[in-house]
């Protein structure tokens, strides 16, 4: 999409949404940012409010939205286990009713629509690394199910709209992403470890720390989203979006301690129920279809994220 278009970003004031809005504005587009501020701080987009091509609307996507736009990125949904488990019913409503409302809007406008799906659709995977063909291993009634099954239902809705009405849908399965503007209290591992290290508090490893995750720096992920939206209509996904570098949680803790020069110790806590043991995207299909590979190594991304949280703590 190279000509100027009006683009809706739901969840646009969140961690990823705020970066996406910023990138789209930098490309010269008009951006309509919709958010109910459930899991974000409106400060994330405060710096964009003076831009005449940016508009911020407080709205809950579980209710219909009547706007005129050329493309939709549907990111609205709390993403961290702490936030999405806080009000599981609302999480399911946001995933399912939110998808129905945004797909209805896209259908009326004949607009391409991107869905921020998740590696959680693979649950605690028995196939490693995860390819898009894998159907997943999800506990349908566990603590994570409000999010996992909500996102799976949203994927089903996206492909039903595609089959029935030929809607140009784009489903991206995002793996763990980190960077500046992560919410300091949302309990995600990267923000937790960095803040704990900077404050000299113990780093809390859940379980023995042998579980793995693959961490993608936010700029790489946003680049992937934008390429996906610009791709032809028959590129629908699902596409894995993430960095295939795989690290144990223990090694992440050690890297954060080293990079911050912290004297923090490591404290083991109980592993939450249904915590996936391993996770790594196979991005072969994404690379083939979008020509995308992530370029920011973990240490470099961590260094930038540490600098962000250091500045945040200095401001108080
Ligand atoms: P975030 O919590 O920072 O952002 C989500 C935004 O959605 C928040 O601003 C929140 O207030 C808003 N929101 C929640 N419910 C809403 C509703 N009903 N109506 C309107 N707005 C609502 O999380 P994020 O990390 O920026 O994640 C963005 C999207 O990407 C989410 O859909 C998430 O599931 C997906 N995702 C993120 C990651 C990751 O590692 N960050 C991984 C996989 C998937
Ligand atoms: N985790 C941890 N300490 C923390 C926060 C998280 O050991 O302070 C672990 C968590 O149990 C999981 C991994 O880090 O195994 C990633 O957790 P996060 O909540 O960031 O994302 P998700 O589990 O959704 O991948």
Say whether 133 sits in a helix, a strand or coil.
coil
Closest atom of ligand 1 relative to the 186 alpha carbon:
2
DSSP lists the bridge partners of residue 267 as 204
Q: Is the pLDDT of residue 131 over 80?
A: yes
Give the distance (Å) from ligand 1 centre to CA of residue 80: 8
pLDDT at 1 over 50: no
For residue 189, report the distance from its CA to the centre of ligand 2, in Å.
Answer: 5
DSSP class of 137:
B
Please work out whether the CB of residue 189 comes within 6 Å of at least one atom of ligand 2: yes
Strands of 169-174's sheet in order across? 54-58, 30-35, 6-10, 71-74, 113-118, 169-174, 239-241
Ligand 2: does its nearest atom lie under 6 Å from the Cβ of 247? no
**Percent of the chain beyond pLDDT 70?**
99
Residue 83 pLDDT greater than 80, yes or no? yes
What would the 3-class secondary structure string for 212-250 be? EEECEEHHHHHHHHHHHHHCCCCCCCCEEECCCCEEEHH
Q: Indicate whether residue 249 lines ligand 2 (CB < 6 A).
A: yes
Buried b (16+ CB within 10 A) or exposed e, 154-180: bbebbbebbeeeebbbbbbbbbbbbbb
pLDDT tens-place string over residues 242-262? 999 999 999 999 999 999 999
* Nearest bound ligand to the CA of residue 41: 1
In ligand 1, which atom is closest to the CA atom of 18?
26
pLDDT at 180: 97
Distance CA 89, CA 285 (A): 34
In sign, the C-alpha dihedral spanning 258, 259, 263, 265 is negative
What's the mean pLDDT in 11-30? Answer: 98
Please count the other Cβ atoms lying within 10 Å of the Cβ belonging to residue 35.
26
Residue closest by Cα to atom 5 of ligand 2? 189
For residue range 285-314, list pLDDT tens digits in order: 999 999 999 999 999 999 999 999 999 999
At residue 234, the pLDDT reads 97
Least confident of 1-10, 52-61, 307-316: 1-10
Ligand 2 atom with least separation from CA of 205: 7
pLDDT at 235 over 60: yes
Ligand with smallest separation from the Cα of 247: 2
Q: Tell me how far the alpha carbon of residue 11 lies from the centroid of ligand 2, in angstroms.
A: 22
Distance in angstroms (rounded) separating the CA atoms of residues 2 and 8:
16
Active-site amino acid positions: 147
Mean pLDDT, range 112-122, rounded to an integer: 98
Q: Which atom of ligand 1 is nearest to the CA of 74?
A: 32
Measured CA to CA in angstroms, residue 17 lies from 33, 69, 201, 219 at distances of: 8, 17, 30, 12
Check residues 17 and 274 and name the one with the higher pLDDT. 17
When the pLDDT of each residue in the chain is averaged and rounded to a whole number, the result is 96
* Ligand 2 and 204: CB distance under 6 A: yes
Q: Which of 188, 280, 281 to mutate to test the pocket of ligand 2 (most atoms within 8 A of CB)?
A: 188
Mutate to test the pocket of ligand 2, among 81, 117, 174, 249 (most ligand atoms within 8 A of CB): 249
pLDDT at 41 over 90: no
Position 4 scores a pLDDT of 61
- Please say whether the beta carbons of 129 and 282 come within 8 A: yes
pLDDT tens track for 147-197: 999 999 999 999 999 999 999 999 999 999 999 999 999 899 999 999 999
Query: Quick one: pLDDT at residue 316?
Result: 80
């Amino acid at each position: 999409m190279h000509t100027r278009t009006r683009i809706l970003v739901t969840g646009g004031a969140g961690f990823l949404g705020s970066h996406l809005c910023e990138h789209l504005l930098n490309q010269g587009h008009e951006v309509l940012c919709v958010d109910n501020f459930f899991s974000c701080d409106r400060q994330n987009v405060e710096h964009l409010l003076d831009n005449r091509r940016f508009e911020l609307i407080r709205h809950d996507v579980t209710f219909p939205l009547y706007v005129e736009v050329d493309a939709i990125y549907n990111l609205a949904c709390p993403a961290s286990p702490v936030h999405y488990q806080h009000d599981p019913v609302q999480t399911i409503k946001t995933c399912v009713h939110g998808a129905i409302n945004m797909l209805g809007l896209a259908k009326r406008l004949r607009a391409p629509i991107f869905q921020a799906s998740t590696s959680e659709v693979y649950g605690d995977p028995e196939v490693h690394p995860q390819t898009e063909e894998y159907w997943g291993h999800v506990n349908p009634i566990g603590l994570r199910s409000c999010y996992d099954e909500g996102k799976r239902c949203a994927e089903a809705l996206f492909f039903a709209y595609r089959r029935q009405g030929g809607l140009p849908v784009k489903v991206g399965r995002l793996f763990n992403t980190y960077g500046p503007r992560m919410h300091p209290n949302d309990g995600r591992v990267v923000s937790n470890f960095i803040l704990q290290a900077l404050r000299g508090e113990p780093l809390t490893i859940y379980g023995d720390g042998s579980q793995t995750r693959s961490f993608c720096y936010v700029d790489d992920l946003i680049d992937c989203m934008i390429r996906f939206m610009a791709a032809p209509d028959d590129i629908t996904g699902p596409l894995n979006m993430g960095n295939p570098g795989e690290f144990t949680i223990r090694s992440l803790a050690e890297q954060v301690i080293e990079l911050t020069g912290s004297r923090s110790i490591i404290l083991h806590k109980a592993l939450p129920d249904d915590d996936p043991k391993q996770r790594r995207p196979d991005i072969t299909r994404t690379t083939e279809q979008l020509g995308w590979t992530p370029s920011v190594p973990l240490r470099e991304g961590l260094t930038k994220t540490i600098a962000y949280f250091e500045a945040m703590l200095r401001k108080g």
